[in-house]
Amino acid sequence: MEAIRTTTMQGALDKLIGGGHLTRAEAGDVMRLIMDGAATPAQIAGVATALRMKGETIDEISGFAETMRGFSRRVETVQEGLLDTCGTGGSGIHKFNISTASSIIAAASGVRVAKHGNRAMSGKAGSADVLEALGVSISLDERQAAACLQEIGICFMFAQLYHPSLRHAAAPRRELGVRTIFNMLGPLANPAGADRQLLGLYDRARTETVASVLHTLGLKRALVVSSHDGLDEISISAATTVSELGEDGQVRTYDLTPEEMGIRRQPLSAIQGGSPEDNAAIIRRIFAGTEDGAYRDIVLLNAGACIYTAGAALTLQGGVEAARHAVDSGAAGAKLEQLIQKTGELSHVS
């Protein structure tokens, strides 16, 4: 099917409904219309649904993500070796905030972390919710976030503040109530330009596609993970499909079990989350050394994968050991307190 000469929402819809795929440029144009507020809610919902039904291509996801990045408020920092870890949500499982706890442990292990996240979409508590409950100031602007990263090696960027133009898609996304390309876009648009990433995905069939998108977007190294029991994390209750983007640009896909990582398999019911305050209490218990069950184990698994992805461990197993040391030594708890103090200080500096 021929490229659309001048991309319009109607033209994109016609092409998608006719069985065609958008080029990267066309997808970028569509996202630009959405971000500019030039697309109606019905058009946004129509395009998102049509893409979901046929399956989004690498070019389509890349085009949307590149445009979203272009509209983002940017955190100016040295990008080399900078890690983000987050999930797409949409799993429907109310777990606690695994990637948030993992990011703090990774930072305590010497990894530079630019954590990008939002309030809850599919669970009861998103990363912004639980960090706020822990006492972290989540509303740092670009300059403050850059200073936080520079001074303590970790920052949090609240997605609502950094992607204001995405508000135009909020209503149709909410009203559709199904997973669409918009679930994938947040993790693909880190405002600090992180070049390493652990990305949890709701759809096991799409891990290779998303890993290829990350390569297209310029990431150096990434793990895209989706567990066989439906988590957008590395699971302790089932195998996890991993698509690993290496520094050579190649994507290698394999399955990983908890046992391979030295972790005992436990049921999903053992990692259920609750309110932001409940989840904050779980994280504090892990860091204090008073939680030694499934909550701790799944965090060690995912923090270990962060440390490995950042290049601070040679193997995934080595990453898990580094994560265990960061918790047991008190370094993870100290890093959390440092984050609370520094964000509090910076939020009061104009």
**Scanning the structure block, which residue is given the tokens 């904050």?**
280
Give me the pLDDT at residue 123, please.
59
> Residues of CATH 3.40.1030.10 domain(s) within the chain?
82-338
Determine how many CB atoms are found less than 10 A away from the CB of residue 142. 18
Closest CA to 219 of 89, 84, 118: 84
Phi and psi, residue 149, nearest 5°? -60, -45
Spelled out in words, what is the top-level CATH class assigned to the domain 82-338? alpha beta
Residues 272-292: what's their mean pLDDT?
96
Separation between Cα atoms, residue 49 and residue 119, nearest integer Å: 23
Under the banding of pLDDT at 50, 70 and 90, the label for residue 76 is very high
User: 131 and 156 in contact (C-beta within 8 Å)?
Assistant: yes
pTM: 0.94
Give me the pLDDT at residue 200, please.
97
- What is the distance, to the nearest Å, from the Cα of residue 350 to the centroid of all Cα atoms in its chain? 29
> Residues of CATH 1.20.970.10 domain(s) within the chain?
9-71
For residue 235, the one-letter residue type is: S
Partner residues linked to 228 by β-bridges: none
Looking at every residue in the chain, the average pLDDT score rounds to 94
Tokens representing 329 are 């030594």
**Scanning the structure block, which residue is given the tokens 């989706």?**
226
pLDDT in tens, 320-346: 999 999 999 999 999 999 999 999 999
Separation between Cα atoms, residue 73 and residue 159, nearest integer Å: 10
What is the CATH topology of the domain spanning 9-71? 1.20.970
Binding site for anthranilate, by residue number, is 87, 118, 173
Which residues lie below 8 Å from residue 5, measured CB to CB, with a gap of 6+? none
Separation between Cα atoms, residue 311 and residue 115, nearest integer Å: 17
Give me the pLDDT at residue 93, please.
72
Residues 48-67: what's their mean pLDDT?
97
Determine how many CB atoms are found less than 10 A away from the CB of residue 264. 10
Q: Is the pLDDT of residue 5 over 90?
A: no
Give me the pLDDT at residue 331, please.
99
Binding site for Mg(2+), by residue number, is 99, 232-233
Under the banding of pLDDT at 50, 70 and 90, the label for residue 350 is low
Binding site for 5-phospho-alpha-D-ribose 1-diphosphate, by residue number, is 87, 90-91, 97-100, 115-123, 127
User: 320 and 304 in contact (C-beta within 8 Å)?
Assistant: yes
The DSSP result for 214-249, as a single string, is: HHHTT-SEEEEEEETTS-SS--SSS-EEEEEEPTTS
User: 68 and 185 in contact (C-beta within 8 Å)?
Assistant: yes
Under the banding of pLDDT at 50, 70 and 90, the label for residue 122 is low
Closest CA to 165 of 73, 75, 90, 87: 73
Binding site, by residue number, is 87, 90-91, 97-100, 115-123, 127, 173, 232-233
- What is the distance, to the nearest Å, from the Cα of residue 14 to the centroid of all Cα atoms in its chain? 32
Separation between Cα atoms, residue 142 and residue 132, nearest integer Å: 18
Give me the pLDDT at residue 131, please.
98
User: 128 and 138 in contact (C-beta within 8 Å)?
Assistant: yes
3-state SS, residue 112: strand
